[in-house]
Amino acid sequence: MSTSSLPASIALVALTADGAILARRLAADLPGTQVHSLVGRVAEADIFFDNTGRHLAGLFATGTAIVGVCASGILIRSLAPYLSDKRDEPPVVALAADGSVAVPLLGGHNGANALARHLAATLGGAAAITTASDLTGGHAVDDPPAGWTVVNPEMVKRVAAASLAGDPIILHRDAGDPSWLIDGGLVFADTGALAVRISDRTTPPQGDELILNPPSLALGVGCERDTEPEALINLVDQTLADAGLARESVAVVVSLDVKMDEPAVHAVAAHLGAPLRFFDAAILEAETPRLATPSDLVFRAVGCHGVAEGAALAATGTDGILVVPKVRGKQATCAIARAPSIDLLTVGTPRGRLSIVGTGPGAANYRLPAADHAIAAADHIVGYGPYIDLLGDAAVGKQRHEFALGEEEVRCRTALDLAAAGGQVVLVSSGDPGIYAMATLVFELLDQADNSAWNRVALDVVPGVSAMQLAAARAGAPLGHDFCAISLSDLLTPWATIENRLRAAAAADFVVALYNPVSRKRRHQMATARDILRAHRPADTPVIIARNLARDGESVRVLPLAELAVDEIDMLSVVIVGNTASRAVHRGGRDWAYTPRGYAAATEKETAMGSR
């Protein structure tokens, strides 16, 4: 079942261990979802809380959709004091812990019914829908298909009541496909007290009629490079107003693919709340016979005789007609075409996105929610095979593109190519992608390559918990003062350079995190690094050796620098060497290490000054 009609942000609230297992299973299938769990009941969640009622009330107040894997009564008692206008209530669904029943409690027509049906379909259970208008079949009048807008919701109850009573309703239609209303149980007649008008125009209600705006318009836009977004927005708003067309009926904004990275084009789509799609020049050129204002000048510049008109017509297909020919503004143009229906799945290509995501050390509970959101939204996952495997259920249903160690550049090029073709792509790195990982290589390729398709890709970097961060946390607080990270791998950096950095860090008294300390063929570098640091540190300086962090076989050891031996370190290890102020302490039955920032000295100074 498609997730396009589901709420964009969903909290899966689990109060038991079994409920959390079910919630995590569902989270892998629902983009924009986080698992919320009660502290002490569940070991793994995105967000923990210690007061169920208060937490549920907070989610409800912020408009977050709630799926409670718990008894309905818990949700009802927690949210009852906060109920007001049902039109503004976010979806609230109670889900049985065994997945057998999903009950929409609130916000049925705001997405709860659709969410309950989705959960039931996913789990093989039943959706307990009680909304009268939904039970007639199909969509409810006040819960139309995606893209449709109810202009005057105050008429919904009257039309729904008339339909349930079997009273005749008139249908007026000048755009859009009304089949969903008929499938939903509405019976139309030539006469009646009430009417439904389906129109993409801004005509006010005529008597007792419900007005629905269908997603029937395609807005084509073009502009010069670096056009001010406000200029294109104003042109579009004025064009729609002059034509008497409803902005709510704009199903899609379309343009030429060379405009994929044009801020003004994206600003218009965001302003209208419409998806944005692009066509190549050959597709737009095929629309030349239907253009109202073909231009040889435009053809010489971009390879097609019309951008705005051509894109609008291409989006609406053979049934489309041009209702607003090209309108010129300052540095920009727009045009509008209409079709009975517009299938967004077949219209053009979306702008591709490459998210370079840090997965942390491997365990899901150390992965940032932003990383999970990027992974959930992706069509493609690119990376080293074992790193993709660490994603577990989060990678289910995605196209995997696996590469071996040593194929880092191929990974990055593949990810960029997939995104350039319109894909939503995640390139995974263990730890943080910007620390000895893939983000640097992606930007290096972009800097060196003259690839216009890559340059149009939307990019973002999602941080992750680095090995040195988790190693430090496991051992206490050794990074509590100034520190640096140095990789001992000389595969890409000359050893002489690495050795100079080690000597500088040692002399400057930095805490030093050592990445890639040894390999099967490379052992002497770690010994040299140890000796350099020993020359500038006391023998009892604490050292942390952390191996297989957040994975099976994890080990963390705190030992004095004098006892540091290369043989107990491998490529799965990260080593942190303290500075001259770092201390080891045995508390709570185990060894810890920390580097003081000088709070004690500052407190003594304040005390001394206060006693004067």
Lowest-confidence region among 35-44, 93-102, 454-463: 35-44
> What's the pLDDT at 33?
85
Residue 51 has pLDDT above 60, yes or no: yes
Range of the domain at 388: 353-465
CA 243 to chain centre: 36
Q: Does residue 344 lie within any of the structural domains?
A: no
Residue 337 has pLDDT above 60, yes or no: yes
Residue that terminates a domain, selected from 198, 213, 228: 213
Kindly state the helix (H) or strand (E) to which residue 212 belongs, with its residue range: strand 209-213
* Radius of gyration over every alpha carbon of the chain, rounded to an integer in angstroms: 30
User: Residue 349 in 3-state DSSP?
Assistant: strand
Whole-angstrom Cα distance, residue 10 to residue 113? 14
> What's the pLDDT at 291?
96
Closest CA to 388 of 434, 430, 439, 436: 430
Residue that terminates a domain, selected from 197, 213, 229: 213
CA 9 to chain centre: 10
Which residue type sits at 357?
Answer: V
Q: Does residue 105 lie within any of the structural domains?
A: yes
* Cα angle value 374/378/381 (rounded, 5°): 100
What tens digit of pLDDT does each residue of 391-415 get?
Answer: 887 887 889 999 998 899 999 999 9
279 with 224, same domain? Answer: yes
Comparison of pLDDT for 140 and 12, the residue scoring more: 12
71 with 173, same domain? Answer: no
> What's the pLDDT at 361?
87
Comparison of pLDDT for 511 and 81, the residue scoring more: 511
DSSP 190-205: SS-SEEEEE-SB-PPP
> What's the pLDDT at 160?
79
Which residue type sits at 389?
Answer: D
Determine the average pLDDT of the residues in 181-208: 83
Determine the average pLDDT of the residues in 447-458: 88
202 with 232, same domain? Answer: no
Residue 136 has pLDDT above 50, yes or no: no
> What's the pLDDT at 518?
92
516 with 442, same domain? Answer: no
Quickly state the pLDDT bin for 184 (edges 50, 70, 90): low
> What's the pLDDT at 603?
53
Residue 5 has pLDDT above 80, yes or no: no
Residue 290 has pLDDT above 70, yes or no: yes
Q: Does residue 277 lie within any of the structural domains?
A: yes
Determine the average pLDDT of the residues in 577-604: 86
121 with 167, same domain? Answer: no
Percent of all residues in the chain with a pLDDT value above 90, rounded to a whole number: 56
98 with 14, same domain? Answer: yes
Quickly state the pLDDT bin for 87 (edges 50, 70, 90): low
> What's the pLDDT at 240?
97
206 with 247, same domain? Answer: no
Q: Does residue 57 lie within any of the structural domains?
A: yes
Residue 89 has pLDDT above 60, yes or no: yes
509 with 578, same domain? Answer: yes
Residue that terminates a domain, selected from 441, 465, 489: 465
Comparison of pLDDT for 331 and 30, the residue scoring more: 331
Cβ(262)–Cβ(354) below 8 Å: no
Q: Does residue 125 lie within any of the structural domains?
A: yes
CATH number at residue 292: 3.30.420.180
The dihedral through the CA atoms of 485, 489, 490, 491 has a sign that is negative
Percent of all residues in the chain with a pLDDT value above 70, rounded to a whole number: 94
Determine the average pLDDT of the residues in 264-291: 96
CATH number at residue 493: 3.30.950.10
Determine the average pLDDT of the residues in 538-560: 94
Cβ(515)–Cβ(467) below 8 Å: yes
Residue 2 has pLDDT above 50, yes or no: no
Number of domains forming the structure of the chain? 5
588 with 520, same domain? Answer: yes
CATH number at residue 431: 3.40.1010.10
CA atoms within 13 A on the CB side of 578: 29
Burial of 181 (0-12, 13-18, 19+ CB in 10 A): buried
Q: In what order do the strands lie in the sheet with 188-189?
A: 149-150, 209-213, 194-198, 169-173, 188-189
> What's the pLDDT at 32?
72
14 with 124, same domain? Answer: yes
Residue 602 has pLDDT above 60, yes or no: no
User: Residue 533 in 3-state DSSP?
Assistant: helix
Q: Does residue 532 lie within any of the structural domains?
A: yes
Q: Does residue 5 lie within any of the structural domains?
A: no
> What's the pLDDT at 238?
97
CATH number at residue 20: 3.40.50.11220
Residue 560 has pLDDT above 90, yes or no: yes
Cβ(534)–Cβ(508) below 8 Å: no
Residue 327 has pLDDT above 90, yes or no: yes
What tens digit of pLDDT does each residue of 497-518 get?
Answer: 999 999 999 999 999 999 999 9
Q: Does residue 612 lie within any of the structural domains?
A: no
360 with 443, same domain? Answer: yes
What single DSSP character describes residue 38? E
> What's the pLDDT at 127?
84
Cβ(252)–Cβ(315) below 8 Å: yes
Please provide the distance, in angstroms rounded to a whole number, between the alpha carbons at the two ends of the chain: 75
> What's the pLDDT at 604?
55
Comparison of pLDDT for 88 and 486, the residue scoring more: 486
pTM confidence score:
0.73
Cβ(331)–Cβ(224) below 8 Å: yes
User: Residue 467 in 3-state DSSP?
Assistant: helix
User: Residue 528 in 3-state DSSP?
Assistant: helix
286 with 224, same domain? Answer: yes
Cβ(538)–Cβ(571) below 8 Å: no
Mean pLDDT estimate for the chain: 89
> What's the pLDDT at 1?
44
Whole-angstrom Cα distance, residue 390 to residue 398? 14
